[in-house]
Amino acid sequence: MDRRIFMGAAAALGAATVSRAALAGLPEAVQQRSAATQPPLAPTGGVPYNPVVTLNGWTLPWRMNDGWKEFHLVAEPVEREIAPGMVARLWGYNGQSPGPTIECVEGDRVRIFVTNRLPEHTTIHWHGLLLPNGMDGVGGLTQPQIQPGKTFVYEFVMRKSGTFMYHPHADEMVQMAMGMMGAIVVHPKDPSLHRADRDYVFLLAAYDIDPGSFVPRVNTMLEFNLWTWNSRAFPGIDPLVCAVGETLRVRVGNLTMTNHPMHLHGCEMFVTGTDGGWVPPAVRWPEVSVDMPVGAMRAIDVRFDDPGDWAFHCHKSHHTMGPMGHRVPAMMGVDQSDLVERIRRLVPGYMAMGEAGMAEMGEMQMPLPENTLPMMTGEGPFGPLEMGGMFTVVKVRDGLARGDYRDPGWYQHPAGTVAYEWTGPVAEPQRPPGAPPDAGAAHVQVRKPGGHGSHH
Ligand SMILES: [Cu+2]
């Protein structure tokens, strides 16, 4: 959808132009087909706020009905482009996984219609919200399951502002492994509190999809091969954009099975909120990596002094990789030259890998099976980025207009501010007596201990 159409639809839904007959029925279940970051939805009256930007996602339009803010979520099978070249068949809401962000103001009375178009029952749990027990969405405990084809109604007051999420509390292992989740952002009713100039939100999810297939293996607990932000893997993750001196807020929730140390270059960041509420300023401390525990959220506030393209990624290096076999032996320092010769007689074009590290993978264009992603990819202004998975760039520029979220392109470094090659003489390093003469000649054979099967 283009911005004008999208904003127009939201305004029509938010305004009191909906007929009485329409108000008696369900709010429209707005669908989204694109995996691109959609423009934020400006408030349509009431308390002013700076709307959140859902990274590679969107915000669910609502309508006002007699003092209630009404939303309509549809749980259903969806197709999600994980990155260009790979589509996954997931379960989500309103056409996408994750579902749309639900955005409200503290004190709002909300009514959320949930229609189930999945082949099995579901519910929605509103993670972190304070609400009556019967609205908590735990199938079998606080409500009957929502059967396929049925619609349930949740009604509650947004008692506090902050960063929350929604997900099923029904067949959870399967439904979350299939991508069912969404963010909830509640703005303070006092607009002078907890302000940020730019406000982004996304959820961490992991999938295990065999190369060439489309549906996640739902029983995988640890060995995932797709590490995603809002069900997107680099280079499919859009950049975050902000101006020098602005307060950038990034709200992140973790619905994977492991923790993710979120590392942001070029700034100091402070955890200003969790899914439990706002962190009092007196007990905040500076970080450059903020760990995202499982089943938790963090709102991180940062301010950049320096313009540039600053890397933002999970610090678990396996999580910034695309799909790869974990069963490959480590080949660092193993001379494979005569082996390659012999294998090429049987397999023309065979390439040995990993002899001097794996950086060569970043530039190699190997034929891939249909519908999968390369292990390391992405092209930067200086060459291959050698990344995949949970990686993107925060593009910080001087003098961006407020609300301008367009990708400004790669940073143009001022002359004399980029690391450069030394071309003078380099002295031989001092070595202790008896040490190998140089690293190139010292072949070490390293193999991973056999933790992944018995065949090596
Ligand atoms: Cu990670």
Per-residue model confidence (pLDDT) at position 326: 43
pLDDT digits (tens), the chain, 456 positions: 344 334 434 444 444 455 666 677 899 999 999 999 999 999 988 899 999 999 999 999 999 999 999 999 999 999 999 999 899 999 999 999 999 999 999 999 999 999 999 999 999 999 999 999 999 999 999 999 999 999 999 999 999 999 999 999 999 899 999 999 999 999 999 999 999 999 999 999 999 998 888 999 888 888 888 999 999 999 999 999 999 999 999 999 999 999 999 999 999 999 999 999 999 999 999 999 999 999 999 999 999 999 999 999 999 988 988 776 544 445 555 565 666 666 666 666 555 555 566 566 555 555 666 777 777 677 888 988 888 899 999 999 999 999 899 999 999 999 999 999 999 999 888 878 877 666 555 555 555 554 443 333
Q: Which of 358, 375, 410 is the last residue of a domain?
A: 358
**122 CA to centre of ligand 1 in angstroms:** 28
Q: Are 225 and 353 in a shared domain?
A: no
**261 CA to centre of ligand 1 in angstroms:** 6
Phi, then psi, of 401 in degrees rounded to 5: -70, 145
**377 CA to centre of ligand 1 in angstroms:** 17
**138 CA to centre of ligand 1 in angstroms:** 28
Residue in the structure block whose two tokens are 């790979």: 86
Q: Are 351 and 308 in a shared domain?
A: no
Phi, then psi, of 135 in degrees rounded to 5: -100, 5
**179 CA to centre of ligand 1 in angstroms:** 17
**260 CA to centre of ligand 1 in angstroms:** 4
Are the beta carbons of 90 and 216 closer than 8 angstroms? yes
**46 CA to centre of ligand 1 in angstroms:** 39
Classify residue 44: in a domain, yes or no. yes
**430 CA to centre of ligand 1 in angstroms:** 39
**315 CA to centre of ligand 1 in angstroms:** 6
Per-residue model confidence (pLDDT) at position 11: 44
Per-residue model confidence (pLDDT) at position 3: 41
286 preceded by cis ω (within 30°)?
A: no
Q: Are 337 and 230 in a shared domain?
A: no
**97 CA to centre of ligand 1 in angstroms:** 19
Structural domain including 38 reads: 3-314
**322 CA to centre of ligand 1 in angstroms:** 12
Classify residue 193: in a domain, yes or no. yes
**388 CA to centre of ligand 1 in angstroms:** 12
**4 CA to centre of ligand 1 in angstroms:** 36
**227 CA to centre of ligand 1 in angstroms:** 7
Q: Are 280 and 350 in a shared domain?
A: no
**18 CA to centre of ligand 1 in angstroms:** 45
The token pair that represents 185 in the structure block: 């952002």
Q: Are 238 and 343 in a shared domain?
A: no
**353 CA to centre of ligand 1 in angstroms:** 25
**415 CA to centre of ligand 1 in angstroms:** 35
Q: Are 273 and 344 in a shared domain?
A: no
Per-residue model confidence (pLDDT) at position 451: 43
Are the beta carbons of 260 and 359 closer than 8 angstroms? no
Per-residue model confidence (pLDDT) at position 365: 57
Classify residue 389: in a domain, yes or no. no
Q: Are 127 and 191 in a shared domain?
A: yes
**344 CA to centre of ligand 1 in angstroms:** 37
**206 CA to centre of ligand 1 in angstroms:** 9
Per-residue model confidence (pLDDT) at position 219: 85
pTM listed for this prediction? 0.83
Q: Are 120 and 181 in a shared domain?
A: yes
**314 CA to centre of ligand 1 in angstroms:** 5
**234 CA to centre of ligand 1 in angstroms:** 13
**248 CA to centre of ligand 1 in angstroms:** 21
- Provide the number of structural domains found in the chain: 2
Q: Are 200 and 243 in a shared domain?
A: yes
**390 CA to centre of ligand 1 in angstroms:** 7
Q: Are 254 and 135 in a shared domain?
A: yes
CATH number at residue 234: 2.60.40.420
> Which residues neighbour ligand 1 (ion) by CB within 5 Å?
260, 314, 316, 319
**232 CA to centre of ligand 1 in angstroms:** 13
Q: Are 349 and 265 in a shared domain?
A: no
**200 CA to centre of ligand 1 in angstroms:** 19
Classify residue 205: in a domain, yes or no. yes
Q: Around Cβ 448, how many Cβ atoms within 10 Å? A: 12
**256 CA to centre of ligand 1 in angstroms:** 9
Q: Are 193 and 73 in a shared domain?
A: yes
